Amino acid sequence: MSSSSDRDLFIAYGALMTGAFLPIYFGSFNSLRTPLTTIELKKQRRKANGKGSSASDDDEEWDSDSEGETGVTERLTSSDAWLFPVFGSAVLFGMFLVFKYLNKEYVNMLLGFYFGVVGVLAVTKVLVGISRSIVGRILWNKMTKFKLELTQRGEGEIFKVRFTPAHLGLFAVSCVLIVYYLLTKNWIVSNMLALSLSVNAIGLMSLDSFRTGVIMLGGLFLYDIFWVFGTPVMVSVARNFDAPIKIIWPKNAIDAILALRSGSKVPDLQFTMLGLGDIVIPGIFVALALRYDQTVASERKPSARFTRTFTAFPKPYFTATLIAYVGGLATTMGVMHIFRAAQPALLYLSPACSGALLLTAAARGEFSEVWNWTDEDDEEAEEEEKKKAKAEGDDGGEKLEKGVEKNGVALGADPNLASAKSAKSNEDSDDDDDAAASSPSKKLRKRKSKAKSRA
């Protein structure tokens, strides 16, 4: 093969690696949540100050909602990880049969419409995140805010969305891009849609523990080997599936550009590709490593500033797994280039990511803590805290009403006695507030003991 062809291939490999790195990096940070330690500190501060919800609290709620913190997260457990390769194989082989016995044009038309609808939401969310970063939080929060809620009696809130005029404008831009993609199948717009889907998938999907992640990566390691080396199924589906489930780059891009500049006939583009599964699957494992780094850092140095947008903390496990992913993907490209044959990327990515995490934990003397850590504790504790706070609020309101009714005569008969009771009550409340503010978080101790019992 000529040196110019090798040059074009290396450019294509570099483009694919960049396209894989960016959604994993930004999707991992998008998956962060405000640590439980920060929630505890802010709650104790409000309680110590004797203040309820304020305007600043409303702004924080708006920020968290607009950045996706309250979005629905699909959490994978160990049982899901065992079945992941099984269901994946069933879907893959089903798609192979569909393309073999049905008209693939109609199948791709239907799938394109589905991914188009999903893609509008994914692209909108990515554009909102980029615009917010450019404009800045202060200016962004000055925009008019709207909230749409859907509640059901007895069930509470079942749907909520907050938006600004910027959201509506960016939604319109996304609709135009998706319509253009459906009409032209332009590969650049297809890549934009695929990258947006990857970023959102990594931010919304999560693993409950590193144990689950290792099981999932191990199963998909075998899955990828079988369906790529053992059968032509995966390669066939990838080539026939004309939907944004892969990022692609022309292998002869330079030749096409030179032909376009010289005015000669532009050659047909020949593409190399990387499936979104090779991005999203390792990506949610890398994102879990970042959330572990965040949890450890927030517990060592609790601070009210340590929100989901605070990222200036040590990231040893995130760095190790991300570097391992890049190295594994580079190895995949190298082997593919040498042998001139498609390679199962997870054959290299799965051991690279899981091995990097386990070796880093062993080198730092934290293997047991890492292996037994579960990501669902913070979420469970936060839900329990919300339910408890709501129950206490309801009980407190009922007690207050009953107290007013009961003490109505006494307040009229002896105001001094009523004042003394009120002062005594306030003193008791202040004592409770001081104790709450000065004592360590009980839920954190409970969470740690829960993890130890699981181990």
pLDDT at residue 424, as a whole number: 46
Q: 128, 166 in Cβ contact below 8 A?
A: yes
Separation CA 196–CA 26 (nearest Å): 11
Q: 274, 345 in Cβ contact below 8 A?
A: yes
Report which of 367, 189, 352 is spatially closest to residue 281, judged by C-alpha positions. 352
pLDDT at residue 433, as a whole number: 42
pTM of the model: 0.77
The span from the first CA to the last CA of the chain, in angstroms, equals 55
pLDDT at residue 414, as a whole number: 42
Separation CA 344–CA 331 (nearest Å): 11
Tokens of 393: 């609020």
pLDDT at residue 430, as a whole number: 45
| Cα–Cα–Cα angle for 318, 320, 324, rounded to 5 degrees | 115
pLDDT at residue 439, as a whole number: 41
Q: Where are the domains of the chain?
A: 3-373, 395-452
- Give the length of the chain: 455
Active site residues: 224, 278
Mind listing the pLDDT tens digit for each residue in 286-310?
A: 999 999 999 999 988 888 888 888 8
Beta bridge partners, 146, equal: 163
Q: 76, 87 in Cβ contact below 8 A?
A: no
Pick out the chain residues at pLDDT < 70.
Answer: 1-4, 50-73, 376-455
DSSP label at 244? S
> How far from the centroid of its chain's Cα atoms is residue 291's Cα?
10
Report which of 35, 69, 30 is spatially closest to residue 382, judged by C-alpha positions. 35
Task: State the helix-helix crossing angle for 187-204 and 165-184, rounded to 10 degrees.
Answer: 130
Q: Strand 156-163 vs strand 146-152: parallel, antiparallel, or unpaired?
A: antiparallel
CA torsion, ordered 241, 242, 248, 254, to nearest 10 deg: 130
Separation CA 240–CA 107 (nearest Å): 10
Beta bridge partners, 247, equal: 274
